[in-house]
Amino acid sequence: MPTRDAAREERRRQRRIRIAARELVRAYRQPPATDERRENHRVPFVQSVQVQAEDGSVYRLLTLDLSPTGLRLVGSRRLLGQKVTVHIPAPDQPAAPGWKFVARILWTCAVGDDLFENGGTFLDAMPP
């Protein structure tokens, strides 16, 4: 009976998808096997931020994580070696001033077509 076979095949397909998705999630949950050299622990911090480069250009980037000494940004710009001002908005308060940090970008890594990670160390915190 074609409908019974089709239903059985659909259940098998859904099961394969669930198994593959679980394996994928497990693989990405596992901590990286790298030797962590940082003194300060990084915390995941995904937030849209405004970054002003030394030449005055302003870009919208995304933070990936931060620590007491620095942060990691991802966006369409290579910022290696630049001193940048990062404005992080206050959560759920668009009118609030948020935070501003001056950071030096110490490394840049291409992670996709026109997509770069930039790692920086904080040089200063400016009043909002």
Per-residue pLDDT tens listing for the chain (128 residues): 568 999 999 898 888 887 777 776 776 676 655 555 656 788 889 999 999 999 999 999 999 999 999 999 999 999 999 999 999 988 877 788 889 999 999 999 999 999 999 999 999 998 76
Within 8 A by CB and 6+ apart from 63, the residues are 45, 46, 47, 49, 71, 72, 73, 86, 88
The CATH number of domain 43-126, selected from 3.40.50.720, 2.40.10.220, 1.10.287.110, 3.90.79.10: 2.40.10.220
Helices (H), the chain: 2-29
Q: What does the alpha-carbon distance between residue 90 and residue 53 come to, in Å, rounded to a whole number?
A: 21
